[in-house]
């Protein structure tokens, strides 16, 4: 009888090096040669266990592909360049790249994908938290890495997505802090003295996101039909190299050594000195003579629901008409210096408003109105949702005005008010125990009190 094992049967043997070896036939490689995988261990039971595990993956069709597995850094580069770039919006892709360069690669970038363990991710998250990163930042890093590993698992590059075995930090939901009706009126009174007053009337009164408000264009504003059609938004995107040698293009800006402790060059940086450039750095695209796809650009809103039309409150129409007339006067005065973009809210030369300058103006208006500091989102989107709720608008209608896809998302934008709660509980009390009726006027106070007690007894019965 032939000592040869049947087809697809694994072999286990003890080698001359003192190790036990296992050989598992997985099929054939892309070039047609046999795909034989190797496992080894110090004992025979251990190597047989490894062989059985590999055979199970083979039989289920989940065995990783043959060949040396890429490192986390190599796979993240492939994922962001060739896979994520086809689905993500430019701003989201920039955020993925930023967190990959600054957090994922320094933390676990040199591990091979098939050797990455849950403990490696947990240690990276712990270091990020100790370094002062917010739990929400760590959670975003976890989601980016988990998505990349999910694609690698789906393509059988790895046998398991280890990110699913890790519990990321929990994040407490940021509590909304919208304007009260009095604060909103005070804010708009402060804004009335500025050329951009209508921008704040629309932002506070209609709950548009900052990018959507600054991205309004006149062809999508129907003043007769009293409708806004938010088809565009303004975003600031990272510049990209247009040249063929990005590394050489940014050579004069490369900095491979960390800054000294007393660095004065980055003294004004809120996050401290930037990290040194990697050896193959391809950044600094803002200095590229052929740079592209960056700066302030008009982009489409993220979801289809965000493009739904929103009715304009009729009292806002005269302000919009007056604003359009002032803009026409500015266009004529600027002449050839006017940069036409069709934007509703512009600088004196016709260019769209810069989101950074818009945010700074919001903070200035808060101070002028005597309102405590808060987020721009609180002063616009959360304020609109909360005040609509106070005015008795039902939640489904608020969801349509704010253009949310789920009503649960709308509920997070609406904050309850204590005075509304008190009024609701007063009405609840009046339902069960109505207020006492006024006692009839009699000559004797004793008789009046007796009548009142009799009336109360009758109501209780």
Q: Does 346 score more than 60 pLDDT?
A: yes
Q: What are phi and psi of 13, to 5 degrees?
A: -155, 160
Of the pLDDT bands very low, low, confident and very high (cuts 50, 70, 90), residue 439 is: very low
Q: Are 339 and 351 in contact (CB under 8 A)?
A: yes
Q: Are 194 and 400 in contact (CB under 8 A)?
A: no
Closest CA to 28 of 58, 6, 60: 58
Closest CA to 116 of 170, 62, 56, 164: 164
* pLDDT (tens digit per residue) in 95-111: 999 999 999 999 999 99
Closest CA to 348 of 365, 368, 369, 327: 327
Q: Does 391 score more than 90 pLDDT?
A: no
Percent of the chain at pLDDT > 90 equals: 48
**Dist. CA 428–CA 413, nearest whole Å:** 26
- Better-scored residue on pLDDT, 329 or 269: 329
Most confident of 142-151, 269-278, 397-406, 444-453: 142-151
Q: Are 292 and 242 in contact (CB under 8 A)?
A: yes
Q: What is the pLDDT of residue 310?
A: 92
**Dist. CA 56–CA 395, nearest whole Å:** 52
Q: What is the pLDDT of residue 361?
A: 95
Q: What is the pLDDT of residue 456?
A: 63
Of the pLDDT bands very low, low, confident and very high (cuts 50, 70, 90), residue 130 is: very high
Q: What is the pLDDT of residue 441?
A: 52
**Dist. CA 377–CA 368, nearest whole Å:** 18
Write the secondary structure of 362-426 as one string of H (helix), E (strand) and C (coil): HHHHHHHHCCCCCCHHHHHHHHHHHHHHHCCCCHHHHHHHHCCCCHHHHHHHCCCCHHHHHHHHH
Q: Does 193 score more than 70 pLDDT?
A: yes
- Helix (H) or strand (E) holding 41, with range, is strand 34-41
Torsion sign, CA atoms 125, 126, 129, 133: negative
Q: What is the pLDDT of residue 448?
A: 57
Q: Is 399 exposed, middle or buried (0-12, 13-18, 19+ CB in 10 A)?
A: buried
Q: What is the pLDDT of residue 35?
A: 81
End-to-end, the C-alpha distance of the chain in Å comes to: 102
**Dist. CA 392–CA 249, nearest whole Å:** 59
Q: How far is CA 156 from the centre of its chain?
A: 29
Of the pLDDT bands very low, low, confident and very high (cuts 50, 70, 90), residue 145 is: very high
Of the pLDDT bands very low, low, confident and very high (cuts 50, 70, 90), residue 218 is: very high
- Mean predicted confidence (pLDDT) in 397-419: 82
Question: Six-digit token pair at 82?
Answer: 């060739």
Query: What long-range pairs does 251-255 form, CB within 8 A, spacing at least 24?
Result: 252/287, 253/284, 253/287, 254/281, 254/284
- Better-scored residue on pLDDT, 450 or 305: 305
**Dist. CA 128–CA 133, nearest whole Å:** 6
Q: Is 424 exposed, middle or buried (0-12, 13-18, 19+ CB in 10 A)?
A: exposed
Most confident of 90-94, 247-251, 300-304, 359-363: 359-363
* pLDDT (tens digit per residue) in 6-60: 566 888 999 989 999 999 888 777 677 788 888 899 999 999 999 998 888 888 7
Q: Does 353 score more than 80 pLDDT?
A: yes
In this structure, the chain runs to a length of: 461
**Dist. CA 167–CA 162, nearest whole Å:** 11
Rounded to two decimals, the pTM is 0.71
Q: What is the pLDDT of residue 1?
A: 46
Q: What is the pLDDT of residue 270?
A: 72
| pLDDT-wise least confident of 154-158, 173-177, 262-266, 399-403 | 173-177
| CA dihedral angle for residue 12, residue 15, residue 21, residue 23, rounded to 10 degrees | -60
Beta-ladder partners of 310: 228
Q: What 3-state DSSP class applies to 14?
A: strand
- Helix (H) or strand (E) holding 221, with range, is strand 221-222
Helices (H) and strands (E) in the chain, counts: 18, 8
Averaged confidence pLDDT in the chain = 86
Q: Does 452 score more than 70 pLDDT?
A: no
Q: Does 442 score more than 60 pLDDT?
A: no
**Dist. CA 159–CA 54, nearest whole Å:** 10
Query: What long-range pairs does 365-372 form, CB within 8 A, spacing at least 24?
Result: 365/187, 365/190, 365/191, 365/194, 365/200, 366/187, 368/190, 369/183, 369/186, 369/187, 369/189, 369/190, 370/186, 371/179, 371/183, 371/186, 371/187
Q: Does 418 score more than 60 pLDDT?
A: no
Of the pLDDT bands very low, low, confident and very high (cuts 50, 70, 90), residue 419 is: low
**Dist. CA 36–CA 26, nearest whole Å:** 6
Query: What long-range pairs does 316-324 form, CB within 8 A, spacing at least 24?
Result: 316/198, 316/201, 316/202, 316/205, 316/206, 317/223, 317/226, 319/197, 319/198, 319/201, 320/198, 320/221, 320/223, 321/223, 323/198, 324/218
| pLDDT-wise least confident of 51-65, 216-230, 334-348 | 51-65
């Amino acid at each position: 009888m032939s000592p040869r094992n049947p087809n697809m049967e694994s072999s286990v043997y003890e080698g001359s090096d003192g190790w036990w070896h296992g050989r598992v036939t997985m099929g054939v490689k892309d070039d047609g040669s046999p795909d034989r995988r190797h496992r080894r261990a110090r004992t025979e039971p251990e190597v047989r266990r490894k062989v059985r595990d590999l055979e199970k993956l083979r039989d289920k069709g989940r065995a990783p592909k043959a060949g040396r597995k890429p490192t986390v850094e190599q796979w993240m580069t492939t994922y962001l360049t060739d896979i994520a770039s086809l689905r993500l919006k430019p701003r989201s892709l920039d955020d993925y790249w930023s967190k990959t360069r600054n957090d994922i690669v320094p933390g676990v970038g040199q591990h091979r994908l098939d050797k990455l363990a849950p403990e490696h991710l947990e240690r990276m998250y712990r270091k990020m938290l100790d370094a002062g990163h917010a739990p929400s930042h760590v959670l975003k890093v976890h989601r980016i890495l988990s998505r990349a590993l999910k694609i690698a698992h789906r393509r059988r590059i790895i046998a398991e997505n280890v990110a699913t075995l890790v519990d990321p930090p929990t994040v407490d939901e940021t509590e909304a802090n919208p304007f009260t009706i009095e604060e909103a009126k005070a804010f708009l009174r402060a804004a009335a003295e500025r050329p951009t007053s209508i921008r704040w009337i629309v932002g506070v009164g209609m709950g548009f996101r900052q990018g959507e408000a600054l991205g309004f264009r006149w062809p999508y504003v129907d003043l007769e039909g009293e409708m806004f059609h938010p088809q565009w938004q303004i975003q600031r995107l990272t510049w990209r190299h247009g040249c063929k040698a990005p590394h050489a293009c940014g050579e004069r800006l490369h900095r491979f050594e960390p800054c000294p402790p007393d660095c004065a060059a980055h003294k004004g940086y809120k996050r401290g000195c930037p990290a040194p450039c990697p050896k193959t750095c391809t950044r600094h695209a803002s200095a590229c003579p052929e740079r592209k796809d960056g700066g302030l650009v008009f982009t489409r809103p993220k979801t289809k629901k965000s493009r739904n039309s929103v009715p304009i409150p009729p009292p806002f129409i005269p302000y919009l008409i007056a604003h359009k007339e002032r803009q026409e006067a500015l266009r004529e005065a600027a002449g050839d210096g006017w940069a036409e973009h069709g934007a509703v809210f512009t600088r004196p030369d016709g260019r769209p408003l810069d989101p950074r300058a818009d945010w700074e103006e919001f903070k200035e208006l808060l101070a002028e109105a005597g309102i405590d500091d808060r987020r721009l989102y609180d002063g616009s989107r959360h304020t609109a949702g909360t005040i609509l709720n106070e005015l008795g608008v039902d939640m489904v209608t608020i969801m349509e005005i704010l253009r949310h896809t789920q009503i649960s998302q709308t509920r997070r934008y609406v904050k309850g008010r204590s005075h509304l709660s008190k009024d609701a509980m007063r009405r609840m009390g009046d339902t069960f125990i109505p207020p006492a009726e006024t006692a009839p006027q009699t000559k004797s106070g004793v008789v009046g009190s007796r009548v009142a007690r009799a009336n109360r007894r009758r109501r209780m019965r």
